[in-house]
Structure 1
Amino acid sequence: MNLHERHKAVMPDWLALYHDRPLEITHGEGRHVWDAEGNRYLDFFGGILTTMTAHALPEVTKAVSEQAGRIIHSSTLYLNRPMVELAERIAALSGIPDARVFFTTSGTEANDTALLLATAYRRSNQILAMRNSYHGRSFSTVSVTGNRAWTTSTLSALRTLYVHGAVRSRGPYAHLSDADFTAACVADLEDLIGQTGEVAALIAEPVQGVGGFTAPPDGLYAEFRRVLNRHGILWISDEVQTGWGRTGEHFWGWQAHAASGPPDVLTFAKGIGNGMSVGGVVARAEVMNCLNANSISTFGGSPVTMAAGLANLSYLLEHDLQGNARRVGGLLLERLRAVCAGIPLVREVRGRGLMIGVELAHPETGAAAPEAAAAVLDAARDRGLLIGKGGGHDTSVLRVAPPLTLTVAEAEEGAALLEQALRTVR
């Protein structure tokens, strides 16, 4: 029995695998990984935007090894120097005044904690979320996910209302200018709030990840924030995929909407651990400290994962990987727009930094083309390139998100391989 058959025999049916012939990735280095058959791939997805800097980055692997040799686990019941040190750095970088940091093991858990804080602080179970959004797979985060393909349960204690604005090029306002689009979405938000009782928070990804790297016009969430502030509603910025400089222009996604200041709550995960299980929540002290019951985390803030996060964050800042994402990501985006201009299957190439979506649609009808996206994913893999996919319920967007150390030569190579893969699919 091969590994795929063994996987199917013991894993849930709903645990998705990419490709008809799923890969077993055995090791990686830099921006490349190898499978069990010895094939080498240029990795343009990084384990879902998680290998943020590079595979087998010496600075991170050394930090993990050294910390594991001292102590692996203690829980949050004891003082933990690496956890405090990383929290200090993240609090300072967050932009949130008087910030407090709580570490988790995933983005799902981080968003779950943010919802707990917001509902406790506001004494309300009503949440505003964006259409086409994704915030995790726990019972609470599924209930604020606006993407039908990932909403596995509606049996939630939260009452969620969905707002327009996160998808610029589709929907009833797509034909409007950026200014009019923003105004229409603000009016929709005002109307929605006017029809509800007390609302706890708006949770929003500055750039939707699973939703296909869609984003509103810059400044939209700043306009939303002005409305939220009038009603005392908290803003939770889900930075699980947009944080740490991936968008190139900003360190956090919320900074594209900074006119009204930082969010009340910020969640993060994925890239900060460069593959280690690190997530967390940053909130101003008044919100973070609102819980009136005891709480701990058994695995959040583990000494080993915190050591990895510290080493990874230091490397990112010292090597200006945000700047590299802006420069090389801009080149890659323009290269992909150029090669896709002559491919009828491509509806749109969008993104910023090293967070790029290539949306596919049937040229005759404009309908989403999820089968074509799956075929391109396989064709790219056959040529030595790994990418992801996402989008709305149709999953017709190719997701391109390489490690932030990507070189110009690798960007050119990846764009050429993706062009070849796209041209094989009709």
Structure 2
Amino acid sequence: MTRDLFARHRAVLPDWLALYYEDPLEITHGEGRHVWDTAGNKYLDFFGGILTTMTAHALPEVTKAVAEQAGRIIHSSTLYLNRPMVELAERVAQLSGIPDARVFFTTSGTEANDTALLLATAHRRSNTILAMRNSYHGRSFSSVGITGNRGWSPTSLSPLQTLYVHGGVRTRGPYAHLDDRDFIDACVADLEDLLGHTRAPAALIAEPVQGVGGFTSPPDGLYAAFREVLHERGILWIADEVQTGWGRTGEHFWGWQAHGRSGPPDIVTFAKGIGNGMSVGGVIARAEIMNCLDANSISTFGGTQVTMAAGLANLNHLLEHDLQGNARRVGGLLIERLRAVAAQVPHVREVRGRGLMIGVELTRPGTDEAAPEAASAVLEEARSGGLLVGKGGGHSTSVLRIAPPMSLTVAEAEEGAAILERALRSI
């Protein structure tokens, strides 16, 4: 049955639409931190639909909210007042830390970043954007144009002039040998030098932790230091929180807060986990920035009632059950467990991450050369053992990406780590 579906998939869908596994997997249902396939096999899910299933599969509060809202009205567009959208916007604005915040809802992180770029370039009257090397911001024409990860940027054509800045990857590149303080100083000096050779950019867009890039991040404080340089020149700071938001990193509710001594970003984008699988994205910005557009605009499907009901229920559950604290506690245990395993596996270059956002980078033993074939082998072996993980990385897809639902238990973390240990040892 799965092979037949795979053949049909290949017959009607694009070749570049990636599928995991040599024998692709069809997931039929899920509950908690587990999913099942068509053959009835049960898997512990350590990737959550690319970080979208933030709280749990089939979370009763979310499924109930969706069903009840769908029974009333599913959609009306932004041309009409929408109570669930207003209620979720109020919560998000209050949680953002941005003064006089306004919220615009979209259907995805790509669309959220697209909107942030529109706002920044219109507000600043500049089409120059600063972005981080190894970054990923979506698959639209504009967001591909600011993506610093070659594997996810299929064209160099862009409506924007993009300049790439050092700092997103701590353990590779020309500054990797420096200590944290000197690393930050070198990246700031590079930024200042870059700004001396270009017209004033509209904004810097940066992921606090680079998701598709392999869960890499700079030392805490880098973006605060960048912000001071940018603020002097009136350049905006856009924090792409599509993967890091809502407490995923454990230590902070937003990833930018690890760099927050100079205050919140001018613009924050979000998506993925807030809808727990429903299509919700959005942009938060100060009123003067959000309201700078001088033409009409709507969002046909952004903020539709049924997705807003899901977002509200999911956010309430996350806050009431302190899933941020759980991500910090269980994620910390999982990272240490995986580091102990990695010390005995020559292919593992580094285990890194925060909270329940963990990367395991694989290289050819004794070198810094990426080993994508090893990552693929581990992915397959983990699946055979009943565990689903993801892949990523800027130096080819050689990083295992681990991001389970934030309600993960200690027992499930131990179970997943044991399966992953066997898979890593198998290579």
Q: What interval of TM-score do these two structures reach, taking the shorter chain for normalisation?
A: over 0.9
Query: In structure 1, the residue corresponding to 2:143 is in which secondary structure?
Result: helix
Residue identity matched to 2:133? R
Aligned counterparts of 2:338 and 2:43: Cα–Cα separation in 1: 19
Aligned counterparts of 2:57 and 2:285: Cα–Cα separation in 1: 31
* Aligned residue number for residue 141 of structure 2: 139
| Match 2:418 to one of 410, 416, 419 | 416
Aligned counterparts of 2:358 and 2:11: Cα–Cα separation in 1: 35
* Aligned residue number for residue 35 of structure 1: 37
Query: In structure 1, the residue corresponding to 2:49 is in which secondary structure?
Result: helix
* Aligned residue number for residue 97 of structure 2: 95
* Aligned residue number for residue 397 of structure 1: 399
Query: Could you give the per-residue CA deviations for residues 286-338 of structure 1, whole angstroms, max 9, x where no partner exists?
Result: 00000000000000000000000000000000000000000000000000001
* 2:312 corresponds to 1:310: yes
Aligned counterparts of 1:302 and 1:23: Cα–Cα separation in 2: 30
After TM superposition, give the deviation of residue 153 of structure 1 in Å. 1.2
* Aligned residue number for residue 126 of structure 1: 128
* Aligned residue number for residue 196 of structure 1: 198
Residue identity matched to 2:225? E
| Match 2:351 to one of 349, 352, 368 | 349
Query: Which sits farther off after the overlay, 261-270 or 357-366?
Result: 357-366
Aligned counterparts of 1:304 and 1:322: Cα–Cα separation in 2: 25
| Match 1:231 to one of 230, 233, 240 | 233
| Equivalent pair of 2:370/2:395 in contact (CA under 8 Å) | no
Aligned counterparts of 2:366 and 2:297: Cα–Cα separation in 1: 56
After TM superposition, give the deviation of residue 365 of structure 1 in Å. 3.0
| Match 2:63 to one of 45, 48, 61 | 61
| Match 2:360 to one of 358, 361, 374 | 358
* Aligned residue number for residue 288 of structure 1: 290
* Aligned residue number for residue 108 of structure 1: 110
* Aligned residue number for residue 20 of structure 1: 22
After TM superposition, give the deviation of residue 393 of structure 1 in Å. 4.1
Residue identity matched to 1:102? F
* Aligned residue number for residue 385 of structure 1: 387
Residue identity matched to 2:172? R
Query: Could you give the per-residue CA deviations for residues 119-146 of structure 1, whole angstroms, max 9, x where no partner exists?
Result: 0000000000000000000000000000
Residue identity matched to 2:149? N
Query: In structure 1, the residue corresponding to 2:227 is in which secondary structure?
Result: helix
After TM superposition, give the deviation of residue 353 of structure 1 in Å. 0.1
After TM superposition, give the deviation of residue 198 of structure 1 in Å. 1.7
Residue identity matched to 2:165? V
Residue identity matched to 1:166? G
Aligned counterparts of 1:263 and 1:362: Cα–Cα separation in 2: 39
Query: Could you give the per-residue CA deviations for residues 197-246 of structure 1, whole angstroms, max 9, x where no partner exists?
Result: 02000000000000000000000000000000011000000000000000
List structure 1 runs of 4+ shifted beyond 3 angstroms. Answer: none
* Aligned residue number for residue 207 of structure 2: 205
After TM superposition, the structure 1 = structure 2 runs for residues 320-339 of structure 1, keeping only pairs within 5 Å, are 320-339=322-341
After TM superposition, the structure 1 = structure 2 runs for residues 136-215 of structure 1, keeping only pairs within 5 Å, are 136-215=138-217
Aligned counterparts of 1:73 and 1:153: Cα–Cα separation in 2: 35
Query: In structure 2, the residue corresponding to 1:2 is in which secondary structure?
Result: helix
Query: In structure 1, the residue corresponding to 2:401 is in which secondary structure?
Result: strand
Aligned counterparts of 2:421 and 2:17: Cα–Cα separation in 1: 29
What is the root-mean-square deviation in Å for CA atoms of aligned residues? Answer: 0.6
Query: In structure 1, the residue corresponding to 2:360 is in which secondary structure?
Result: strand
| Equivalent pair of 2:346/2:366 in contact (CA under 8 Å) | no
Aligned counterparts of 1:375 and 1:3: Cα–Cα separation in 2: 23
Query: In structure 2, the residue corresponding to 1:308 is in which secondary structure?
Result: helix
Query: In structure 2, the residue corresponding to 1:305 is in which secondary structure?
Result: helix
| Equivalent pair of 2:130/2:203 in contact (CA under 8 Å) | yes
Residue identity matched to 2:141? F
| Equivalent pair of 2:216/2:353 in contact (CA under 8 Å) | yes
Query: In structure 1, the residue corresponding to 2:338 is in which secondary structure?
Result: helix
Aligned counterparts of 1:77 and 1:332: Cα–Cα separation in 2: 46
Residue identity matched to 2:289? V
Aligned counterparts of 1:341 and 1:80: Cα–Cα separation in 2: 53
Aligned counterparts of 2:204 and 2:174: Cα–Cα separation in 1: 21
- Give unmatched runs, 5+ long, in structure 2: none
Aligned counterparts of 1:364 and 1:88: Cα–Cα separation in 2: 52
Query: Could you give the per-residue CA deviations for residues 76-133 of structure 1, whole angstroms, max 9, x where no partner exists?
Result: 0000000000000000000000000000000000000000000000000000000000
Residue identity matched to 1:316? L
Residue identity matched to 2:62? V
After TM superposition, give the deviation of residue 364 of structure 1 in Å. 3.3
| Match 2:265 to one of 252, 263, 266 | 263
Aligned counterparts of 1:198 and 1:178: Cα–Cα separation in 2: 28
Residue identity matched to 2:261? A
Identity of paired residues, percent? 81
Figure out how many residues of one structure are paired with residues of the other and give that number. 425
* Aligned residue number for residue 72 of structure 1: 74
* Aligned residue number for residue 5 of structure 2: 3
Residue identity matched to 2:191? L
Aligned counterparts of 1:371 and 1:231: Cα–Cα separation in 2: 45
Query: Could you give the per-residue CA deviations for residues 154-180 of structure 1, whole angstroms, max 9, x where no partner exists?
Result: 111100000000100000000000000
